[in-house]
Chain A
Amino acid sequence: MTKITSYDELRQRCADVKAQKASLAKDKIIINVSLATCSIAAGGKKALQAIEEEVAAAGLQDAVMIMKSGCMTYCYAEPTVEIAKPGAAPVVFGDVDEAKARALVTDYIVRNEPVEGVIPVNYVRVAF
């Protein structure tokens, strides 16, 4: 890793990451799996594995980016997975057990059909 030695370099790096993220969001379906201690205990890693398997089985490796994040704050609906299709607002799904994880890929992504358990957004947040 190269060191960042000034504020300007840091700003530049930020702009680069933002541009990279924007182009990813335009081209790819981003699947974001919540993996905090509690999400993992609720089965988050199983959901992640099932998603990875289904993505591979559907040959979607290039169309999908899988991301691992921390707590999504919905304890009552763990494990939670967020899916952002290009050009659409991200949708968070709750209670993603192995079967639902597979359905998210085969139904929601491949066949474009709705899957139950969407958690409504009930917050605004500071996004820098």
Chain B
Amino acid sequence: MQSIRTDQGDQTSRVMPDATHKQLRIATRNCGFIDPESIDDYIGVRGYQALATALQAPPAETVAIVKESGLRGRGGGGFPTGLKWEIASKNKADQKYMVCNADEGDPGAFMDRAVLEGDPHSIVEAMAIGGYAIGASKGAVYIRAEYPLAIKRLKKAMDDAKAYGLLGENILGSGFDFDIEIKYGAGAFVCGEETALIRSMEGQRGEPKTKPPFPAQSGYWAKPTIVNNVETYANIPAIILNGADWFSSIGTEKSKGTKVFALAGKIRNTGLIEVPMGITLGEVINEIGAGCPGDKKFKAVQTGGPSGGALTSKDLDVAIDYDNLIAKGSMMGSGGMVVMDEDDCMVSIAKFFLDFTMDETCGKCTPCRIGSKRLYEILAKITSGDGSMEDIDKLKGLASVIKDTALCGLGQTMPNPILSTLENYWDEYVAHVQDKKCPAGVCSALLTYSIDPKKCTGCGLCAIVCPVSCIAGAKKEAHSIDASRCIKCGSCYEKCKFDAVLKS
């Protein structure tokens, strides 16, 4: 057997970050460039050669390369992938499993779907590499049933790989067998947590359990199991082909390589971006994203979805990596980046995410099941104008308790949107409870609409769109709103061409 390290072939592919282009595409290297339904297209970009390379050396060498590369789990937690593989490879068992977590559930995140739809073979190949590394002959992709096109393309990729002998028995004459099956998820957010995912795969309720034992010790059917995210897998073939030293030379000291983000919300260039770790938030928002539309002022960005927190306009020079985001009270998460501008109310945003986690809690542990409901109720009270300073204290106290006591990652991180907005936007909370005002003009219960008689031309458009007919006035004369009947829907505000409707 020879060493993998000698076979790095074409050195021109060892691309490095480029200051003028900002983005560096490793995980999404083939998306949009090859036909995802053609295995030949993938073979033409050295597809399955990383697997072939790995098969030429002992499995421990693949584990060592992944470890040296510094790759960390791209699903959110950031656990070192090589270390995970090493633990599973050292555990002796008659059967081990390689699982791909494609249960992408963060609101606003869709990078896993993009990779599965644009480059499914890279996942098939990477799972086989992982299987060889840890000694697993079976793999499973846990994918949400809401992704029919991704499933179709993945299935085709698996069938074609089998027909070519790149999956199945005795792959490339090496004696290594590996096969993959697809398991469908029903789209429960908690099933992105690996122990819940494994239970769901076994046909049980998707509920997490305490760790240890970790899945790498005892997972699917109590066998050593590796659960890696789609994006993590997508990096593996590139690491094998280009070498660990190449990958580890990209990024920051503790976060290597790139991260794919789904840039969404109040940003001009919405889209998928892949950037080297360590890029600043400002570069992402102002250069790649081209700022907020309508020249509104950038206010904050929620990273890590409902488990993360807000980075604010003060954090534009923060270098994005796993540790810096945690230090800022947020987290990397799977890579959703929801951008907010000056018109967004941070209390409402926190309420939105709590509404999501309240729906998605599995109900197994009390802090999460009941805590999420109580947090949501307090936020609803504040946004409807009935809150007090005591409520804010209660919110803070309860959030800290849940963070410390919930069973799994979903519960432990669920208070993050509240804690981080309390930290960064304390004044907004206070304005809601003390002044009964929503500074961003979002919380409808705290708004009053009126018409400026000087600007009103009496065109009557507002009266026509008002769903409760509470606007009156003679033609070509200033109109007025009957505040007692106004439902604060904002239709008149949006319709008025003369900026005569005032919101306060």
A residues whose Cβ falls under 8 Å from a Cβ of B: 1, 3-7, 10-11, 13-14, 17-18, 20-21, 32, 34, 36-38, 40, 67-76, 80, 82, 121-128
Chain A facing B: main interface SS: mixed
**Contact across chains for A123 and B26 when beta carbons are under 8 A apart:** no
> Which of A3, A7, A67, A69 is B164 in contact with, Cβ under 8 Å?
A3
Known contacts A7-B52, A126-B15, A1 near B32 by CB under 8 Å: no
**Contact across chains for B21 and A121 when beta carbons are under 8 A apart:** yes
Q: In chain B, what residue has the closest Cβ to A22?
A: B44
Known contacts A17-B41, A18-B44, A36-B114, A11 near B49 by CB under 8 Å: yes
**Contact across chains for A128 and B32 when beta carbons are under 8 A apart:** no
Q: What residues on B are CB-neighbors of A10 within 8 Å?
A: 43, 48-49, 52, 172
Q: Tell me if B271 is interfacial: C-beta within 8 Å of chain A.
A: yes
Q: What residues on B are CB-neighbors of A32 within 8 Å?
A: 32-33
Interface mask (B134-158 → A, CB under 8 Å = 1, otherwise 0) = 0000000000000101100100000
> Which of A1, A5, A69, A126 is B26 in contact with, Cβ under 8 Å?
A126
Q: What residues on A are CB-neighbors of B322 within 8 Å?
A: none
**Contact across chains for B36 and A69 when beta carbons are under 8 A apart:** yes
**Contact across chains for A71 and B32 when beta carbons are under 8 A apart:** yes
B residues whose Cβ falls under 8 Å from a Cβ of A: 10, 13-18, 21-26, 28-29, 31-37, 40-41, 43-49, 52-53, 55-56, 110, 113-114, 117-119, 147, 149-150, 153, 160, 163-166, 172-173, 238, 241-242, 263-264, 268-274, 288
Known contacts A1-B160, A76-B270, A127-B45, A70 near B15 by CB under 8 Å: no
Q: What residues on A are CB-neighbors of B274 within 8 Å?
A: 73, 123
Q: What residues on A are CB-neighbors of B241 within 8 Å?
A: 128
Q: In chain A, what residue has the closest Cβ to B27?
A: A126
Q: What CA separation (Å) do A14 and B48 show in the bound complex? A: 10
By Cβ-Cβ distance, the 5 closest A-B pairs, closest first, are: A70-B118, A17-B44, A123-B23, A3-B165, A125-B25
Q: What residues on A are CB-neighbors of B263 within 8 Å?
A: 75
Q: What residues on B are CB-neighbors of A67 within 8 Å?
A: 35
Q: What residues on B are CB-neighbors of A82 within 8 Å?
A: 32
Q: How far is the CB of B61 from chain A (nearest CB, A)?
A: 16
Q: What residues on A are CB-neighbors of B264 within 8 Å?
A: 75
Q: What CA separation (Å) do A123 and B276 show in the bound complex? A: 11
**Contact across chains for A72 and B31 when beta carbons are under 8 A apart:** yes
Q: What residues on A are CB-neighbors of B44 within 8 Å?
A: 14, 17-18, 20-21
Known: A10-B52, A32-B33, A125-B15. 16 other contacts (CB 8 A): A10-B48, A10-B172, A18-B44, A36-B113, A37-B113, A69-B32, A70-B117, A70-B119, A73-B271, A82-B32, A123-B22, A125-B29, A126-B29, A126-B242, A127-B15, A128-B238
Known contacts A5-B165, A68-B37, A75 near B43 by CB under 8 Å: no
Q: What residues on A are CB-neighbors of B166 within 8 Å?
A: 4
Q: In chain B, what residue has the closest Cβ to A121?
A: B21
**Contact across chains for B24 and A124 when beta carbons are under 8 A apart:** yes
**Contact across chains for A37 and B32 when beta carbons are under 8 A apart:** no
Q: How far is the CB of B340 from chain A (nearest CB, A)?
A: 17
Q: What residues on A are CB-neighbors of B26 within 8 Å?
A: 125-126
Q: In chain A, what residue has the closest Cβ to B271?
A: A75
Known contacts A36-B149, A37-B149, A69-B32, A127 near B49 by CB under 8 Å: no
> Which of B10, B33, B117 is A36 in contact with, Cβ under 8 Å?
B117
